[in-house]
Each structure stands twice: as C-alpha cells, then as structure tokens.
Chain A
C-alpha cells in the first residue's frame, strides 16, 4: 500500500501511523468510566456520539468494526431494562401513570416487586437511563476494540502473563469467530431452503457454530504452540514465583479498583486507591517480567505525544465526572422524581467534548489516510484488487 504523497490536505498534521493500542484502550476505558458515573441522558448521548465519531475518524481500513455490534447490544440492554421495569417495576413510585396492567398479587416477602400493576413514567425513564448508561459504557469498550484490536494490545502484554496469554488470545478470537461463523452457517442454512429467521432456526445454529468456533480455537492454540509461544528460557524458580505473584496480585488489584471506579456506587473514591496499588504491582511485575522476556519486538508502535494526549483526553472526563459525582454537582446523578430536565453541568460537557479532540491530535492510520487522499483527489473509490 503506497503511502500518499504529501498533499495540501487539511488533515495532514503528521504522517499517518498507527496509534499505540494501549493509548486507545486507556482513552476508551476512561470514557467508559465517565459514562458509568452519570445518569444524565444528555451526557450519555454525548459520550456515545464522541465514541462513534472517533471510530469513524480513526478506525483503520480492514479493522473489525466492533462499534456497531456493541451498540446493538447496548440497545438491547436498554430495551430489556425497560421491559423488566414495565412488568416487574423497579421500586420507583412515580406520579405520572402511563398505563395500568392487570396486577398479580405477590406474597408480602417479595416487597418492592410487583407483577403488572400501574406503570409510571418516572420508573420507565429511570430504567431507560440506567440502560443507556450501560449502553454508553459498552459502546466505549466497542470503540476501543475497533480502534485497536485486542490482539494488537496483547503484543504488549508482559512476559509474566504468558500462561494467561494463550487463554486470552483464544478467548478473544472466539467471540468474533462465533459472529463470523454464525453468518456463514446462516448462509448455508439458506442453501438448504431455510429462511434463517425465527427462534427455532437460531437454536439450530447453536451446535454447528459452537463446534466450529471451538475447533478453530483449538487450531489456533496448536498454532501458537508450534510457533514457539511461551518459550521461556529456564530461569531461577524464585524469580518466576515472585513475578507471577506480583502479576496476579496486580491484576486482581487493578480489576477490583476498576470495578470500584466503574461500578457507579457512592464509594467511587474507594476504588481509586485500590486501582493505584494494583497498577503499581502490575508495573512491578512488568519490570520483573521484562527481564526474563526472551521475545524481541518487531516495529513496536512508538509512544509519543499523541499517545500521551489520547490517555489524558480519555482520563479527563473520567476524573471530572467522578469528582462531580462525589461533590454532588447538579445534573450528574439525576433524580427521576419529580421528573424534569436535568441541568447540564458545564465542566462535564466540556470534558466529554474534549475527549473527542483525540480524533485531531492522533495521526490517521496509514491505509485510511491513503484511501482518503485518493478519494479527496477525485479518484474513484479505491478498488483493492481482490478478496474472494
């Protein structure tokens, strides 16, 4: 793929290159954390819009588009949440009743739950917002996935995590393979005269798709094995034990900390110290691991100013919203009773909007840049020679 000659195009701030995957994931997770800490629908929509726009601007040609599927899952989450609320209620007693459903009396020990009965607008709005929060969080992860595939991310995983590595790669490839195989099996079903629609049809997909994906995962593991994945020179046993312990402790700490931060409980600040300790442990294990890492690196993505900027821009909304939530700024956590339009907290809006700046400060991925310069020069849409 020839790199485009320098032209007078506006976007030519810096030479096209791939941005470090860790930077994209920090950005995505930061935005996701921000989304998890507000129930203001306007802010949540903003997060989704920013994530979507950055994906459009910076997803490399040919990279798997995971944004769409994650968005769909998010929408499904909203629908499910609302449906559950209509049928079962969510404990919010609103004043504006939309509809009365026939109610089934439940025993007293199931207080707070109901089956049927009156459905209030407030409870539905609350459910939809909760769903939207989940959806926005998912979409941010989907965006990170589309901007930097997990396989690229894994190249930077420390040697200490080798043993986990095979499992992670296999797991990561399993899901996309399921989707791809489902498509192919569905096409094959049509060849046998089935429409491929309906629950029974979907049920028939399950076995061949799972079998196929499992087979392929085994093939992949065999391939990694025979290509020397996980070859470590025989080392001091103590060294290895310390390294692994640090890595596991760090991973657990980081996960717990992330959970504390993401799970929008009131104790959001408690999550941060755990996260910090976990990260320190992880870094320590990385340093230890790097010493016994016999792998070499081929053309690793550099870590320069755009990567720092992406991290900062992703973490900014997370920090601002976390601060806003704990300080009780109006419009971060919205009460549904009484129902009213929440105010828009200016710092939060600004922080989320700034996160979108990442599409300016990072370089364009090379193939996308080539495609764009060709279409901008008035050439017909690029015709890659093949794909059969």
Chain B
C-alpha cells in the first residue's frame, strides 16, 4: 500500500536532511504508529505520504515514495486525495468551509461522490464521530476536541484507503481520544484501512498499533514490532516505564497485559505485613508511597472565585463556580472538551469579564487592574504559546520581556536557562522545538513573578522528557510560593504534578479534591499506573518504586 525506497528529504536552505534512510513497506490494513521526540522529523515523514512533501513544502526528495502504486513524483497531493486522507495537527487551520456539514461534504464534493452516496456517507460519518448534534454549527464555535473530530470525519467521509494523522488526540480529553482511536481501529479491522499515526501520548495509542516506526534525529527505523520498539525507545508511556523498571517480560504495552504481570505485586503492596496488626496504617508498603503526599497548603490565598459565571456569546462557559486557589499548590483543572476550562482560566487572568459573581486575585479584581499591574499578580501561558512571542531571536525576546516587566536585564535569560537548559539564543523562536517554545513563553511570563500562574494545555506536542522537565519546574514554582493552575487533558502529567484536581462539566465543578483521591476514583481520568494497580491508590511509576523499597 505504502512503499518508501531509500527516502531522504532536505528542505531548501537546510544543511542536514529532515529525514534520511526511510525504507519501508506498509501493507494494507495495518495501524502504524510513528514515535519520536519533538522535532525529530515525524511530520516530514507523514507529509511525504500524500505528496505534500515535496510538492507543497519545497525541498529535495531522494528515493521513491509509492502510494497504492502511484509515485508521488508524478502525482500531486490532489491526485492522491482519493487514496490518502491527511489530518493535520491544528484542525482550525485546515477547515475550508463554515459549518460542520459543509466541511464533511467538502472532500466528497471535490472527489465527485454521487449525491445519494454522499448523503448516506455524511450521515454515517456524523454518527461515527459523534457529531450529529453539531451538524449545523459553525466550525469556529466548536471546542478544540469537537473541531478535531470534525477534521477526522471530514477526511474519513471522502473514503480514502489510507489515513495519515498528525497527533490526532493532542487536543482531546481522554474519553474523546479513546473514542477517536476506537473509531480508527474499527476502520482498520472492519474496512482494512491503512492508518499511519504520529502521536506523543503513547499511552493512548501504543496498544492499538500493529507496527511502530521510530524516528530519531531524522533517522527513520524499519517497521518494528511495538514491544521490541518500546524496549529501547527514548519516548515511552508509563506502562512501558513500569515494565522496564520491574523487568517484566514480555514487555506489556496495555493496561490489561500489565495487570496480569502485576497480580502478585498488588497483593504484596496492599497487604498488611504479619505481626503489625496494631499499627497497620504505618506499615503497609502502599502507605510508604501514599503517606508522603503533601497536604494541600491552605495558608495564603492566591485567587478566590465567588459564584462566578462567564458567558461567551450565547454560551454559558462557566456557571456558578466558587473556588479558592492556594499559594504553594499545583491545581489541575480537567474536564471534557468544551467544559469551560479555558474560560475559567481566562476569567482568573482577567481576560474574560465575569457576567455574574466575582474573581479576586490576591484580593483584587483582575479586570479592574491595568495590565502592567495585573501581570504581577496573575500570569497566563495561553494554549498557543507562540502568541506571546514576537521577537526575531530568543535573546531579543528575553530582553523585551525584561523591559516589559521592568526587571533587571538578564532575568528572563536566567529563568530560561534553568527551564530549558542551554539554548542557541540567536535562533528565531519559530525554529525552536515545541517544548522549547513553551519554555520560552513560560520564562517570559515568569519574569513578571506572578503570584498566580495559569497554564492552558501546556503539554500539547511535548514528548516525555520535556514533560518531566515541566513537572520539575512547576513543583519548584509552587514550593517558591506561587499558586500554579493548569488546564489539561493529560492525566499522566496531572498524576505527576498536581496536589489538587478540579473536574469541570458544562461549566460547573463536579469534583474537587486531592489528586490521588480524584484520579483513582474515576475510570476516565485514571492514569495508567492507577489502572494497573486498581484498587490500590498508586498514581505514578515513582509511587510503585517507593512502595517496593525495602522497609527501613
């Protein structure tokens, strides 16, 4: 179906090729996962598969790419459209029409699908992607996850034999992601579709994959068996991390496989050792892990919301929310796509006015403060961190931030160095990797030393090492006396970093409690380790390791 013979791509003006040595043969009906750190060339590889590279991107392609027998040298992307469907990372940028229904019909219209077949396929697609209720909505008013589902549906409806997706679940909540991936596996199993996916959140996809391609620094591996690939992949999900640490063989890739390995461990960790019945709570291995949880500090208030309601047009995004956010803690705001997370953060940051109730940040209404005073109290790193960056080099950006916040020169640089490690500061911010750009945006905001730090979906496009660094930084900031709030779908990140979890639904708070209680109590939001060790309240690999340490 897909055949790459010794393919390498060099973009115009680049000295090193973006990918080299791609030599692959993907058969029909396989789900292939492309794994690699950010900026390793995954997107380039995917864009080769429908001819966008090199027809659209420019650059030089060596070797041969043959899709369903058609050479991309002679076939433009539009000539491959009936064969390959391509879903990009940012769905909003790819929409051609205004409404859901028109968007799904667009590809079919261009390919000349007959009206009766088109009508039927459109209805099927709406059902398959769970979009029936949204059919006449305009695309701009949908939430990120809904947009992603429309983008996939629009491509699917055109009936391609190959589906190429670049991070299809990065904007989706766990349940919606599972739905989308479930739909994809169904297509593979029932219709024999070939699917190629690049995804950072391996915990969501690895167990669906038939084959894995590792991409590292532009070097493209052959088709690997998923378990074999995971034994040495630099990026891997928690379940693999756990399996590697505990020496499980064969390496489990799914929660189900891992639970079988962990059967005996669950008993050992949860059991009360003999002879300690009088003080059981101090001695169980489980408590060694759980007992070290910090209580959520409640001395100083960072932000207080009283019966806050936020409207956005006709939509009531946040409804009657009362919350207190304390300094020294990391709070995660979760909830399905469109639950009002971003609106809540926007209201705390003073970007959205409250239509009822009030917001106080360190005792003041943020909407009444002038921006230059507000940014000292509350800082927000928006979902798209690029919005914060304007300068043409990292160094200039840091200097601009220093003068913006009136801090001594070099402050932002120092923060950046601590967060991102050494960087080439002459680079244009656009040339940085996703994780480095986030680090830069975060440094800019931190230069103002806001008491309340808000991050909107900070892990989009971050690989595991970058996430680990982010976790360490956020913990440090909280310890330094900031109230950190992050809105995210990434349960693994929440398990690592948050003290407290707030779950929103339809703009209302449905759960609010310590991370361990909330995450282990919910099947939708449980991280992998919690699922493996259920009913024990373990969240992370570190928890397990701690529980297994010999009692001192």
Contacts and interface: CB of A to CB of B under 8 A. Distances in A.
A295 B108 CA distance: 8
B136 A151 contact: no
A169 interface: yes
B148 interface: no
Scoring A152, A221, A222, A295 by chain B CB atoms within 10 A of each residue's CB, the highest score goes to A222
A299 B97 CA distance: 14
Nearest to A197: B371
Interface in B104-120: 105-115, 118-119
Interface in B332-374: 337-343, 349, 351, 370-372, 374
Contacts of A192: 375, 388, 401, 404-405, 444-445, 448
Interface in A188-204: 188-196, 204
B108 A386 contact: no
Interface stretch (A128-136, A310-318, A326-334, A377-385): A377-385
B371 A297 contact: no
Contacts of B135: 1
Nearest to A371: B314
Best-buried of A61, A222, A223 by chain B (most CB within 10 Å): A223
A223 B112 CA distance: 17
A308 interface: no
A225 B389 CA distance: 30
Nearest to A229: B110
Given A184-B387, A192-B404, A297-B115, A388 B314 contact: no
Interface stretch (B16-24, B72-80, B183-191): B72-80
A226 B119 contact: no
Given A299-B105, A388-B343, A219 B372 contact: no
Contact of A229 (B78, B137, B370, B380): B78
Interface residues of A, number: 58
A381 B314 contact: yes
B112 A227 contact: no
B110 A220 contact: no
Contact of A296 (B77, B101, B109, B351): B109
Interface string A166-202: 0001000000000000001101111111111000000
A2 B305 CA distance: 35
A192 B154 CA distance: 38
A36 to B, nearest CB: 29
Nearest to A223: B94
Contacts of A227: 78, 81, 96, 106-107, 110, 154-155, 158
A298 B107 CA distance: 11
B78 to A, nearest CB: 5
A104 B511 CA distance: 74
Contacts of B107: 227-228
Contact of B340 (A224, A230, A384, A388): A388
Contacts of A155: 97, 102, 109
B176 to A, nearest CB: 12
B96 A223 contact: yes
Given A220-B93, A385-B338, A387-B317, A193 B404 contact: yes
Interface string B293-322: 000000000000000000011111100000
Interface string A256-281: 00000000000000000000000000
B317 A194 contact: no
Contacts of B79: 231
A296 B114 contact: yes
B448 A193 contact: yes
A152 B98 contact: yes
A149 to B, nearest CB: 5
B375 A383 contact: no
Contact of B78 (A61, A189, A207, A225): A225
B405 A1 contact: no
B52 A225 contact: yes
B346 to A, nearest CB: 9
B136 A387 contact: no
A383 B315 contact: yes
Interface residues of B, number: 88
A185 B389 CA distance: 9
Contacts of A61: 314
A151 to B, nearest CB: 5
A190 B109 CA distance: 43
B110 A228 contact: yes
Given A386-B143, A388-B144, A208 B387 contact: yes
A387 B315 contact: yes
A126 B443 CA distance: 56
A219 B82 contact: no
Contacts of A216: 93
Contacts of B52: 222, 225-226
* Most chain A CB neighbours (cut-off 10 Å) among B111, B113, B122, B506: B111
B371 A193 contact: yes
A63 interface: yes
B520 interface: no
Of A152, A188, A227, most B-chain CB atoms within 10 Å: A227
A387 B143 contact: yes
B372 A298 contact: no
A388 B341 contact: yes
B78 A231 contact: yes
20 contacts: A64-B140, A151-B97, A185-B387, A190-B375, A191-B371, A191-B382, A192-B445, A193-B448, A194-B371, A208-B389, A219-B94, A220-B94, A222-B77, A226-B80, A230-B110, A296-B115, A296-B118, A299-B105, A383-B314, A386-B317
Interface of B: 50, 52, 55-56, 76-82, 84, 86, 88, 90, 93-98, 101-102, 105-115, 118-119, 122, 133, 135-138, 140-144, 146, 154-155, 158, 312-317, 337-343, 349, 351, 370-372, 374-376, 379-380, 382, 384, 386-390, 401, 404-405, 444-445, 448, 506
Interface of A: 1, 61-64, 149, 151-152, 155, 169, 184-185, 187-196, 204, 207-208, 212, 215-216, 219-231, 294-299, 366-367, 371, 381-388
- Which 8 A-B pairs have CB atoms at the shortest separation, nearest pair first? A386-B338, A228-B81, A298-B105, A223-B94, A219-B93, A62-B138, A188-B387, A193-B375
